[in-house]
Every structure is written in structure tokens, then in C-alpha cells.
Chains A and B, each alone.
Chain A
């Protein structure tokens, strides 16, 4: 039972204007500095690249053994790799794996983490204890070593498989944050009122608490996205997981360990291209998450 539904029309109108004002002020926070606008543009740009990138090139990119490690030129804007493939093409087609896997992982953590956090926070005594034990356990296990162990039995070939595992092992942080929020929300008047009306717990969680936790979760999720991108690209960088198509992590691995990019300059563009893409994407996501931080934590604002 949502509170706004019970309001008379004129008050409802006021509530709507108020919420428009709130979203307008949030929008102002977002566009307050040029850095944030640029971040938004970068994230949208890479998302677009991930969606349409693979359609722009043939499935198997052309190789040319006469033109390996070519420096950037008009024919190859970013140069070529160890088999003469255009690096720009590799970057554009490789974006999908990275973003899709991170997106799926975020979706999985969103579902598991929010559900665990909501129930642990709303029933702190009964369901809360076992849920938090499991959450602490999940949080304590270092992610990359765990994924390396899992690589012996699980294939990370498709972004769906990668995203699923990242999500299943990575929901602890969100569960904790949501639990803390829920714990404080359940003492608030409107939740107590709903409880007093005899509304069953599951409905109170879904209609009263969830909408209040949702913006907080979305901000947390943005930080998690960067973490997922680090980890998946890192696994390919280490060269410990098998892959079916090239992506940014595979490029980094080839550049560092096959092309000796660390000790010679011939593969500099091969090394820097995926590296800068990852940096741009993750730093943009962090910047956008900071906007969320300022929205929910007004004391952080610089007025």
C-alpha cells in the first residue's frame, strides 16, 4: 500500500511537483561539472560500442602477416597487433564481452544482494543472522584467487558465463549496504505504520522499503560495475581462462606477455589502446557513482 495512492488529488499534484524539483536538483548535480558530463558521454559511447560494435566488422577479423605491429597510420588508426589485425577493430568488437559480462554480473548481484540485504535487515533476528554469516563468508573470500580456482571447472568463454560467476561471488557488498539501510528504515514511522496495519512482512519490504533502498542500490551497483570490469579483464590479462573471442583483457595479455610491450616499444599502441579504454570506462563510472553519493549524502556536497 503506497502512501501517495491515498492522497487527495491536489496533494498528489504537490507531491509530483516536489519530486520533479528533486529530480531537477539531481540533474543539476550531474551536470554541475564538465567532468561529469564527459563521464556520462563516455559511458554512453562505450555502451553503444558494445551494442553495435560486433556488427560493424566481419566475424573473423582479417589478419595480415606482412603488417604486424604496424604503428598508427591512416589505414590502421591504432596500428596492428601480432598477426596484423587492426587494433581499432579489436577494441570495438571486444567491447561487447567486457560490458555484457559486467552488466550480467551487476544484474545477478542486484537480485541476490538486494534480496539478502532486505530480508536480513527486516528480520534481523531470525533470517538476518544466517544470511549475514553467509554474506561475511562471501565477502571474506578474495575474488580473483576464487575465480582462478573456479576456472578449473567452469568455462568463462561467453560473457553470460563470466557474468554469472562474477555475480554469484560478488553480491556481498550490496547485501551489507542494503541491510544497513533496511535496518534504519524499518524503525521509521511509515514502515511502523504499515506494520501496525497488519500488512505482511513481504509486502512491507516490497512496497515500503524497496523503493527507498532502490536509489542507494543503483549507486552501489555503479561502483560494483567497475569492480566487475577490473576482475574480468584481469582474469584474461593473467591468461588463466580460456576465451572464444578476443576482448580487451585478451589484448592486454597478448600485448604484455606475447608482444613484450613492457620491455619494448613496438607494441606500445597494442598495450595502450585497451588500457586507455578500460581507464576511461572505469573512471567515468566512478565519477558517476560519486554523483549518486552526493545525492544520498548531502554533507559531501560542496553547496
Chain B
């Protein structure tokens, strides 16, 4: 019973966050320097449109009608959002923003998901090893490796990977998602091309995330090492390997919460990696729409990112009681 209430509270908090961001986007689109929506409206009127036509066209583009009372504009905007109507693109006249944004979304998700999971698995393994072997050269080496990787910005990792493996040695294609020589579909050439194009970006994500995982895992494992139940297990003469399993299981718990946050952080990395590897995801979409002043697309992409992050956090919260029985009981 308590669990259901907790879930409902989390759900409502998430919805409120989305509402706040959506309202901020409305304020942004409404108060942009030069007020593009109103400019567009008067442009259409001077081009001979009737006020009704002009109003409808601007409303389709921005999701609200200029020259209406503010509260009505806001209501109209939110109502359209509830129907997944994010307005129309300015740069690509007449194409719905939702269309453009949902086209870009899967590319980002594929890269992010594989990158986050790979960095999580590798980083946690290395972090556990570093903590259990912290008095040895191996442990020092892993910690050093983690700290260095953690100190390198994503775009530098991506740039160096591109330069070394796509230009100097040309092992991988220079950006994009797939070679145009293959027909889209389930054939080996097309899928293989997809994979070879995705390898470098995914490695970039992985390297960008792995350092932080090594360091947090090491700290988490070491904090468990000092717990009484570990000492008790050691004193009872339980095999070192089994004790290590106790340690790791308890040290993993806080890491799952961080995993949810990592999905959010990944979207920041996505902007850089997609930019360097010319990958048509949400990050590149945001860059392009910013340079062409395509504000509806910019705000639509941002809203979708926020919704994805909040959904990931919510799912992580849902899973947490399954992983840690103590949360269920309290």
C-alpha cells in the first residue's frame, strides 16, 4: 500500500517537472528576442493572408496564437502538447516538429543505451577490482586509469577517436549512420554498416562514462569493506571469494541510483559525440536548429530529452525496491 502511494508521488513529481519545463519552453518561445511568432504573424498578414489564416499558420508553427491573451496562448500551447503536437519546423517548412524529433530520438537512444550499459559493466568490474586490490600496483593502475579518463572531456575523447581510428588508420567510416550503398532493411550489408558506423560513437560514450564508474564503485566498495557483517564473515572463515560477493552485492545498491542519473548526463555527451561523428540524433538536431534559429524544433527536442530523463529516473525508482529489499520494508 505504501509502495503504491510512493509510486504515485514519484509519478506526480515527474509530471510536475515536465509541466515546469514545458511552461519554461512556452515562455522562451514567447519572449524570444524579436518575438518570432508575432513577426511571423504580421509577415503573413502583409503577404495578404486574412488574420484567421495567419493566426492558424502561426499557431501550427509555434503551438500558440500570437495576439491572443497570454493565458489563452498558454492554454492552447499546453493543450497541443498533450496531443504530442509540438508545432512545425521553421527551417523545413510545414514538417511537424514531433515528426523531426521522433525521427532523431532512436539514434540517440541506441547510442546512449549501449554506451551507458557498456561503461557501467566495464567501470563497475574495474572499480570492484580496484577496491579489492587497492594495496597493489593493479589497484593503483586502475584507479589512475579511471581518474585520467574521468578528467578527459567527452568531445576530446570523441575527437581523438575520430582522428586516430577514422582518419589516421581509417578502420571505421568517417561519421554518419550507414553507407548509402546499402538498401535499408534486414540485410547483412545494411546492418553491418549500421554497426561499423556506431562502434566509434559507442566507444566514445563508454570511455566518457567509464572513469566515473570506476571511481564511484571503488569508493562504494571500500565503504562496505569496513562494515561489521564483512568482518563477521571473514572471522567465521568464509571463503574470500564468497565474502567478495557479499561486499559487491551491498556496494552495488547506491550505484543503481547513479545509473539513472547517468542516463540524464548521457544526453549532454550525446550533443558532443553526435556533433563529432555527424550522427543524426537529438544532440545534432539541437545544434542544427540553434544555428538555423529553428526554435520550435529546439524546444521540442529539449522537451523530449527532459521527458526521457524523467522517465528513466522514474523507472529506476520503480526498480530500486526490487533490488534492495530494505527499501520495500521501510
Contact = CB atoms under 8 A, between A and B. Distances in A.
Which label, helix, strand, loop or mixed, suits the secondary structure of the B interface? helix
Nearest to A229: B153
A238 interface: yes
Interface stretch (B55-63, B75-83, B259-267): B259-267
Interface string B88-125: 00000000000000000000000000000000000000
A240 B32 contact: no
Contacts of B160: 275
Nearest to B282: A145
B140 A237 contact: no
A148 B167 contact: no
Interface residues of A, number: 45
A278 B140 CA distance: 24
Interface in A247-289: 252, 256, 261-263, 271, 275, 278-279, 282-283, 285-287
A222 B310 CA distance: 28
Contact of A279 (B32, B151, B225, B298): B151
A285 B127 CA distance: 21
B223 A137 contact: no
A238 B219 contact: no
Contacts of B150: 286
Given A141-B21, A153-B31, A282-B151, A133 B13 contact: yes
B219 A297 contact: yes
Contact of A278 (B153, B163, B265, B310): B153
Contact of A283 (B20, B134, B151, B310): B151
Contacts of B28: 149, 152-153
Contacts of B33: 153
Closest 6 CB pairs of A and B: A144-B268, A283-B151, A286-B151, A142-B267, A230-B153, A282-B151
Interface of A: 133, 137, 139-146, 148-149, 151-153, 226, 229-231, 233-234, 237-240, 252, 256, 261-263, 271, 275, 278-279, 282-283, 285-287, 290, 293, 297, 299-300, 302
